[in-house]
Chain A
Amino acid sequence: VIQERPTSSAEAAEVMRACLSEGSRLRVVGGQTKLGWGHVTSEPDVEISTERMGRVLEHNAGDLTAVVQAGVSLKRAQEVFAEAGQMLALDPPLGHDDSATIGGIVATADTGPLRHRYGAPRDLIVGVTIALSDGTLARSGGKVIKNVAGYDLAKLFSGSFGTLGMLTELSLRLHPRPERTATAALDCDGPETLQRASSALAHFPLEAMSLDVVWGGDGGRVMARLGGAAPEPRAEAAVGLMEEFGAARVIEDDAELWEGLRSRQRSEDGAIVRVAGLPSELARISRAVDGIAGSVVGRGALGVLWAELQGDDPQDLVGRIEELRHHLDPLRCVVLDAGRGVREKIDVWGGNQDSSVELMRRIKARFDPQGLCNPGVFVAGI
């Protein structure tokens, strides 16, 4: 595998152009914390690393916007934004040595607990520069937070796993970092209680930063994190909303708690399955995951849940994942972290029965006609 390490968008586009002329299949990598996601594919001919594209190009604090190169680590960018009391409202797990890059997080549309209030990468990117496989360097969106000129390619590229081209620069919308936080937590002894307590919080205008549920084995928890100028009375209000379901309490020193929650979206040696569910299905999903000896963490009001299955026998894991899919059909269960032994035996995306698959293929064919960009890793083998 040839390694390329461009330092700018223009250099990245040059590398892409060279790949096209050689017919080389290419893969873009950032912090390499999610390389095991997607279908197992053959090694590419060229690997383009963003490790030398790690700069924050602009931080316009007064406008709450920034422009970064794709290879900047989220951690480093947050340090820069924090100097002005701001943040990029994304908090997915950062992987080994906290090396997840903003480009990689966007390319995989990865999210953490903050999604409850602020949305996914797609909702926070206001512009992108992309390099296509023929060397085209194009821009969509801009630097302002409100803009409807032209098509929104930033959203199209978000979660596209590098199959349409390379994200080289991103314009971001930032948010004020809440001065203080407090969390209301309730321990639950049954999935139904979990769902009802989560629903009570979701339907009350708390404006929580995060609303997470966890379930595993014989117990679970519902947690709402409030941030702002006056989080404590709001946390008390959340406790009040959950009173009928059990003894809830306020946790003021809550940073570690939330760090722990997002880390449960990763598994070192087992498997992680992301369930695209609904709030009204929390109990059913929790029970189904129980049924295959797994545990669940996720966003109570959004219905997106991560199931962790422990174990190191690929055959056993595959069996349990298939059982989960069978129970939850038609909800989509995507396998994220999992060993090669598992991913070789299963469609990690959970099949390609969607009516839009043909349209997706047409998009791939327009943006990457020769099929050089990370081929085969995506849904339906795109």
Chain B
Amino acid sequence: LYAEIQLKGAGMDARLIEELEKICGGRVVTDAHALRTYESDGLLHYSVAPPVAVLPDSVDEVRRIVRACHEALVPWVARGSGTGLSGGALPVEDGVLIVLSRLRRILEVDLANQRIVVEPGVTNVEVSQAVGPSHFYPPDPSSQIVCSIGGNVAENSGGAHCFKYGFTTNYVTGLEVVLSDGEIVTLGGKELDRPGYDLLGAFVGSEGTLGIATKITLRVVPVPETTRTLVAYFDSTDQAGRAVTDIVGAGVVPGAIEMMDHLSIQACEGATHAGYPLDAAAALIVELDGPRAECAARFDEVVAICENNQATGVRVAQDEAERQLIWKARKAAFAAMGRVARSYYVQDSVIPRTRLPEVLRRIDELSEEFELKVANVFHAGDGNLHPLVCYDAEDPGQAVKAEELAGLILTACLEVDGSITGEHGVGVDKKRFMTKMFSEEDLDAFQRLRCAFDPSQLVNPGKVMPTPRLCGEVPGPYRQHPLERAGVAERF
């Protein structure tokens, strides 16, 4: 039945829109002009105007909207702040867009237990603000001022500090989720180790395909006693790469360790005047945070390692202002690239850290072969590369070449046992590469999870999986164990 609906396309039912208006009053958008706000997320290459967008104000409204879609067999997509970089919140042309930005209450701050409970529209930075100055929320995607926690949960967002601190999935302890049939379930809670499957682990990072998180419980941690930051410059990315390997190999776990190549340095320095030498081939930002005694001991070690790897200069931030300046250049990387290219295509691949030199050489070769510049910024600690393939969008030939080049970079990363995405997600942008990373059997196993959560396949269709797949009925009878009926162990 669902298959049929999807094939012919359900279209937008006037009765459904009426129902949505009953639920949300004036917060239903059907005006074509107004809907253009929602036609893309942070990945502007893709745009689909949704026929209708709704802005619920409460969990109950979300539940009723989802329920109405389920009854009308209309697909839907949830959207937070729309900063995602893989098209995960791209609307579907015959579906409803559920915009969660009005659900932005901080429900509870429980510092005694180092927890905060928020609605999905709360921004990442608001979480840290709500638990500060004593505590903070570590995952820090560079869009943190605007991106929503709901979106972070969907994408399992990382950031510059996740090598030491981990990702969103390591900080979510509880979720309230609206499933595709409108049922509300609670996964986990404030406490850890509730019995049952780790559904939190399955849900976080599922790119909005399993349901909508309407209440999110997060773990927060004490703000480190001290933070020390340096930037070292090198004559080659190889040397900088070796410094990273030596630092990590020495047992140092930096709060952040970020690398920029020559082209990125030029673009960022031009934009921010942070004082990076324009002739440096590579810059390495190393930030240590933690207990004062530990940082002091480690920081000298890091400086020595940079010098041993022929750093041409090491600049140590003398105060918070200088630290911010060093970071300003790095954080400006994506925006600053506009100074050296009219358009660029961002990749988000991951490689084992030790394979960095060979992958960079391969990227250089490809760049020469395609006659397109590629700038590189990395989260070097965890091997997450962000190659920015520069091109001129006015020249249709270049856009095609840029996309091909970006694809070959992904292939090069997969050849060294890497991944096609470290933090941006698969969304629509990388789904065609899923078959390069995963077998049919792997994808089938993924589909089992998706179908358990959403047998109707109405939730964010067309994302993550390379080709549409149907759920079908569960094959064979599920044998009910007597415990399921009795609730106690009696089967022998």
Q: Is A1 an interface residue (CB 8 A)?
A: no
Q: Is B251 an interface residue (CB 8 A)?
A: yes
CB distance from A163 to the nearest CB of B (A): 8
Q: Is A41 an interface residue (CB 8 A)?
A: yes
| A-B contact list, 24 entries, CB within 8 Å | A62-B245, A62-B352, A130-B445, A139-B438, A142-B350, A144-B419, A149-B420, A152-B201, A152-B205, A152-B206, A155-B201, A156-B198, A158-B201, A205-B225, A207-B290, A278-B190, A279-B114, A302-B192, A332-B193, A334-B195, A359-B452, A363-B199, A375-B479, A376-B481
> Does A347 lie within 8 Å of B445, measured CB to CB?
no
> Does B291 lie within 8 Å of A363, measured CB to CB?
no
Q: Is A76 an interface residue (CB 8 A)?
A: no
> Does B352 lie within 8 Å of A347, measured CB to CB?
no
Against B, the Cβ 8 Å flags (1 = close, 0 = not) of A44-72 are 00000000000000001111110000000
> Does B185 lie within 8 Å of A370, measured CB to CB?
no
CA distance A350 to B158 in the complex (A): 35
> Does B489 lie within 8 Å of A202, measured CB to CB?
no
Q: Is B113 an interface residue (CB 8 A)?
A: yes
Which residues of chain A from 63 to 106 have a CB within 8 Å of any chain B CB?
A: 63-65, 85
CB distance from B181 to the nearest CB of A (A): 11
| Known contacts A144-B382, A376-B481, A381-B484; is-contact A366 B452 (Cβ 8 Å) | yes
CB-CB under 8 A from A364, the residues of chain B are 478
Q: Is A138 an interface residue (CB 8 A)?
A: yes
Q: Is A292 an interface residue (CB 8 A)?
A: no
CA distance A39 to B333 in the complex (A): 55
A276 in complex: contacting residue of B186, B192, B352, B353, CB < 8 Å: B192
CA distance A17 to B354 in the complex (A): 38
CB-CB under 8 A from B114, the residues of chain A are 202-203, 279, 301
B452 in complex: contacting residue of A175, A279, A363, CB < 8 Å: A363
Q: Is A206 an interface residue (CB 8 A)?
A: yes
Tell which of A185-193, A230-238, A252-260 binds the partner: A230-238
CB-CB under 8 A from B204, the residues of chain A are 152
Which residues of chain A from 348 to 382 have a CB within 8 Å of any chain B CB?
A: 348-352, 354-367, 369-371, 375-376, 378-382
Against A, the Cβ 8 Å flags (1 = close, 0 = not) of B6-50 are 000000000000000000000000000000000000000000000
| Known contacts A142-B418, A152-B202, A369-B474; is-contact A381 B481 (Cβ 8 Å) | yes
> Does B484 lie within 8 Å of A148, measured CB to CB?
no
CA distance A233 to B296 in the complex (A): 12
Nearest chain A residue, comparing its CB with the CB of B221: A205
CB distance from A133 to the nearest CB of B (A): 10
B489 in complex: contacting residue of A40, A138, A370, CB < 8 Å: A40
| Known contacts A140-B445, A205-B290; is-contact A148 B205 (Cβ 8 Å) | yes
CB-CB under 8 A from A142, the residues of chain B are 350, 417-419, 437
> Does A206 lie within 8 Å of B112, measured CB to CB?
no
CB distance from A235 to the nearest CB of B (A): 10
Q: How large is the interface on A (under 10, 10 to 19, 20 to 34, 35 or more residues)?
A: 35 or more
A344 in complex: contacting residue of B134, B156, B489, CB < 8 Å: B489
CA distance A148 to B225 in the complex (A): 31
CA distance A164 to B430 in the complex (A): 28
Q: Is B316 an interface residue (CB 8 A)?
A: no
- Can you name 19 extra interface pairs (CB under 8 A) apart from A63-B352, A148-B423? A41-B491, A62-B249, A120-B192, A138-B441, A138-B442, A142-B419, A144-B417, A147-B421, A148-B419, A149-B434, A152-B201, A160-B198, A207-B294, A274-B193, A276-B193, A276-B194, A334-B193, A367-B445, A370-B479
| Known contacts A142-B418, A203-B222, A230-B294; is-contact A369 B185 (Cβ 8 Å) | no
Tell which of B57-65, B117-125, B163-171, B230-238 binds the partner: B163-171
Nearest chain B residue, comparing its CB with the CB of A121: B198
B384 in complex: contacting residue of A146, A155, A164, A367, CB < 8 Å: A146
> Does A280 lie within 8 Å of B112, measured CB to CB?
yes
CB distance from B455 to the nearest CB of A (A): 8
Total contacts A-B at CB 8 Å: 316
Q: Is A261 an interface residue (CB 8 A)?
A: no
> Does A144 lie within 8 Å of B479, measured CB to CB?
no
| Known contacts A138-B445, A354-B196; is-contact A146 B253 (Cβ 8 Å) | no
B488 in complex: contacting residue of A347, A367, A382, CB < 8 Å: A347
| Known contacts A39-B489, A40-B489, A375-B481; is-contact A149 B437 (Cβ 8 Å) | yes
Against B, the Cβ 8 Å flags (1 = close, 0 = not) of A133-170 are 00011111011111111111111101110001000000
Q: Is B365 an interface residue (CB 8 A)?
A: no
CB-CB under 8 A from B294, the residues of chain A are 207, 228-230, 234
> Does A379 lie within 8 Å of B195, measured CB to CB?
yes
Q: Is A109 an interface residue (CB 8 A)?
A: yes
CB distance from A126 to the nearest CB of B (A): 10
Q: Is A122 an interface residue (CB 8 A)?
A: yes
Chain A residues close to B by CB (< 8 Å): 39-42, 60-65, 85, 109, 119-120, 122-123, 130, 132, 136-140, 142-156, 158-160, 164, 175-179, 199, 202-207, 228-230, 233-234, 237, 274, 276-280, 301-304, 331-332, 334, 343-344, 346-352, 354-367, 369-371, 375-376, 378-382
CB-CB under 8 A from B419, the residues of chain A are 142, 144, 146-149
CA distance A206 to B221 in the complex (A): 11
CB distance from B172 to the nearest CB of A (A): 11
| Known contacts A147-B422, A153-B445; is-contact A60 B354 (Cβ 8 Å) | yes
CB-CB under 8 A from A130, the residues of chain B are 445
CB distance from B170 to the nearest CB of A (A): 5
> Does A370 lie within 8 Å of B476, measured CB to CB?
yes
> Does B190 lie within 8 Å of A366, measured CB to CB?
no
Nearest chain A residue, comparing its CB with the CB of B382: A146
> Does A359 lie within 8 Å of B199, measured CB to CB?
yes
Q: How large is the interface on B (under 10, 10 to 19, 20 to 34, 35 or more residues)?
A: 35 or more
> Does B195 lie within 8 Å of A365, measured CB to CB?
no
Against A, the Cβ 8 Å flags (1 = close, 0 = not) of B182-213 are 00111100111111111111101110000000
CA distance A360 to B224 in the complex (A): 38
Q: Is B387 an interface residue (CB 8 A)?
A: no
Nearest chain A residue, comparing its CB with the CB of B186: A355
Nearest chain B residue, comparing its CB with the CB of A230: B293
CB-CB under 8 A from A349, the residues of chain B are 195-196
CB-CB under 8 A from B110, the residues of chain A are 280
CB-CB under 8 A from B205, the residues of chain A are 148, 151-152
Nearest chain B residue, comparing its CB with the CB of A375: B481
> Does B198 lie within 8 Å of A303, measured CB to CB?
no
CA distance A360 to B167 in the complex (A): 25
> Does A147 lie within 8 Å of B438, measured CB to CB?
no
CB-CB under 8 A from A178, the residues of chain B are 251
Nearest chain A residue, comparing its CB with the CB of B115: A278
CA distance A243 to B187 in the complex (A): 39
Q: Is B425 an interface residue (CB 8 A)?
A: yes
> Does B169 lie within 8 Å of A152, measured CB to CB?
yes
| Known contacts A152-B205, A155-B201, A344-B489; is-contact A39 B291 (Cβ 8 Å) | no
> Does B291 lie within 8 Å of A205, measured CB to CB?
yes
> Does B158 lie within 8 Å of A146, measured CB to CB?
yes
A138 in complex: contacting residue of B297, B423, B444, CB < 8 Å: B444
> Does A366 lie within 8 Å of B474, measured CB to CB?
yes
> Does A303 lie within 8 Å of B113, measured CB to CB?
yes
CB-CB under 8 A from A343, the residues of chain B are 489
CA distance A119 to B166 in the complex (A): 10
> Does A332 lie within 8 Å of B194, measured CB to CB?
yes
Against A, the Cβ 8 Å flags (1 = close, 0 = not) of B373-403 are 0000001001110000000000000000000
Q: Which 8 A-B pairs have the closest CB atoms?
A: A381-B483, A155-B201, A176-B251, A138-B445, A39-B489, A62-B354, A366-B448, A371-B479
CB distance from B208 to the nearest CB of A (A): 12
CB distance from B377 to the nearest CB of A (A): 15
CB-CB under 8 A from B200, the residues of chain A are 155
